Every structure is written in structure tokens, then in C-alpha cells.
Amino acid sequence: MNRWAARAAAAAAIVLTAGISGNALAQAGYPDKPVRLIVPFPPGGGTDILGRIVADKLTATAGWKVMVENKAGAGGSVGLDAAAKSKPDGYTLVVGQTSNMSIAPSIMSGLPYDPVKDFSPVRIITSVPLAIVVGANSPIKSMADLVAAAKANPGKLLFASPGNSTVAHLTGEYFQKVAGIKYTHVPYKGTAQALPDVISGRASFYVASIESATGPVKSGQLRAIAVTSAKRAPQWPDVPTVAESGYAGFEAVTWFGIAVPAGTPAPIIARLDAEVAKVLEAPEVQQRLNGKTDIGPAAFAALIKADHDKWASVVKEAGIKVN
């Protein structure tokens, strides 16, 4: 190597080292400016409430300035797309969930982001089970009764959900597949429209969030026959899971988690994960979330992929049309 080549190589090494050192210093001082948390739904909804719990607690305990930005539209895909296209520097976070990270690729044509390739998962905030409920006067008192009624009257039971392609709808289709039975799906425009028909018995059963069913169950208008989580829900400790009811391994939940754009440096993801985990450890946060979850980056990534595969199979077998 001649003298000039040696000098050029040395200069390049200095620049490279300086760049690495600069990145390391930037990561070590992270965050040194406000962090944006995109919530892909309007203010006031469940996703927004969860995002603000995390943002407010990070601001209060870690001393970070976390600003919530609501970017609603297209079932959350507008906000997810904005996050995916943001600079991967740790200053843009997003609240993703089952519907827009695991189900959307199977039911939306032209989805502008790839949930697996375009994001680095950080940590699950919470998982919310669904409830399977019937009217208080229904002869169906258990999942065994539901299956028996469906087998005795193939296709005649009416399964109500809060809408097409929702997690509740797909959960009902999933159970139909697992149990080897047939009933007819009736989509409503939300819980408020569905409940009167379930209470009256015009609809045979309903699948929806525990939160939306709790009031009518407590008032005696509805009867809960199962929850769809792997373990019993803390809110309803006396209600069995579908798995307990004879369908081992059955689980269908809506999860919510923090993710960042793909390419975000690993040290920043680790820092985010550690701080969000501390937030979720706080007793007052656990009380609001009805318990603790412990699903970090690797397990969260695996969950997105596993749920995508499960729901894609359900969508295909049920013949659900892609929007």
C-alpha cells in the first residue's frame, strides 16, 4: 500500500469510528427530545386510553416527554403506515393491536405496510379476552349446550358479532372450525345494536369484548358461558375458558402493544422495552389493565406471526371477502 492509500484508509477509519461513536453517544443519551406515540384510532377509545396510560407513566416515572398523536383511519392502518414510514430512531412509537397487525394483511387488499417486515415489536401492553354470551333466558348454559344446539340445528343458530372481519367475528368463525359445527353469522354495527337481539333471543349468542358485556351480565340480561383467553379472566373468575370447556389450546384475544419502525437500533429497543416493562409493573397500571403481561420483543414478534397465520387460515376457510 503506498503512502497516499495508507492515509486514505486511515482517514476512512477515523470517519467510520467517529460515526459509530456518534451513534453510540446518541443512543446513550436517548431520549434527548420528545418521543411521539402514534395511536391509530380517535381520542377516547380503548386503544387511545391504553396509549395514554403508557405515555403518561413514561413521562412521570422515566422523565421522558411522550406526546400522543392520534392518526385514525382505515381500521388503524393510517396510523400504522405513518409509523412504518417514520425515521427508525426511537422517537416514533405506535400502539399496534391484533386487528391491524395480525388480521389486516388477510382482509385488506393493498395494505400499505407489512406488519412483520416494517416494525420492530417492543412489548405487549395488555391482552383482552372476548366473551361468549347468551340471553339470560336462553336454554344454552354452557359451551357444551351451544355445540349440541348447533349440531342439532346445522346453520340455524345465529351468531352475532359487532361487525364483519372484527376479532369477535373471526373468533366465532374459529370456534366453528375447531368444534366442527355450523351456525350463521349476523354482523351488527357495534355492540349497542347487537345487544337487544341477544338479550331477546333473536340472536342465539354473541361474541364481544368483556368490557362491552359486563354491564348486561351484571344486570342479569345476559349470561356469560365462556371467555376466549387461555386462563380465566380476572373480571369473571367463575366463567370458564373455551379451552376448559373441552377445546384444549383454544385462545383468541385482542392484544395491544408498542412497536417502532424496523431498523430502530437494538440498544434503543432494549431501553424502550425496559422502561415500558417498568410502567406495566406499577400496581395502579396493573389494576387498570386487569393484570400483568410479560411479552417482550422476541415473544411479541413471534405472536404477530403466529396470529397472522391463524387468522389467515380462518379467513380463507370461512370465505371472508377481502376489502
For 64-80, the pLDDT digits (tens) are 999 999 999 998 999 99
Burial 252-291 (b: 16+ CB within 10 A, else e): bbbbbbbbbbeebbeebbebbbebbbebbeeeebeeebee
For the segment(s) 27-127+255-318, the CATH number from 1.10.760.10, 2.160.20.10, 3.40.50.150, 3.40.190.150 is 3.40.190.150
pTM reported for the whole predicted model: 0.86
C-alpha to C-alpha distance for 262 and 90, rounded to whole angstroms: 10
Break the chain into its structural domains and give their ranges.
27-127+255-318, 129-227
Taking a C-beta distance cutoff of 8 angstroms, is the pair 75, 108 a contact? Answer: yes
Calpha distance 262→295 (Å, rounded)? 18
pLDDT single digits (tens) 283-306? 999 988 877 788 999 999 999 999
Q: Do residues 68 and 39 make contact, with C-beta atoms less than 8 angstroms apart?
A: yes
Split at pLDDT 50, 70, 90, the class of 150 is very high
Q: Is the pLDDT of residue 84 over 60?
A: yes
More confident residue, 181 or 21: 181
Alpha helices in the chain (DSSP H): 3-28, 46-57, 77-84, 98, 104-107, 143-152, 167-179, 191-200, 210-218, 266-281, 283-289, 297-318
Tell me the pairing of strands 222-227 and 119-135.
antiparallel
Cis check: omega of the bond before 31, within 30 degrees of 0: yes
Q: Which CATH number fits domain 129-227: 3.30.300.30, 3.40.190.10, 3.65.10.10, 3.40.1180.10?
A: 3.40.190.10
Per-residue pLDDT at 24: 55
Tell me, what's the pLDDT at 140?
98
Residue 192 has pLDDT above 60, yes or no: yes
What's the rounded mean pLDDT across residues 225-241?
95
For residue 203, which amino acid is it?
A: A
Q: Do domains 27-127+255-318 and 129-227 have the same CATH topology?
A: yes
Closest Cα partner for 161 from 320, 308, 286, 323?
320
Query: Is the pLDDT at 117 greater than 70, yes or no?
Result: yes
Cell of residue 174, nine digits: 374459529
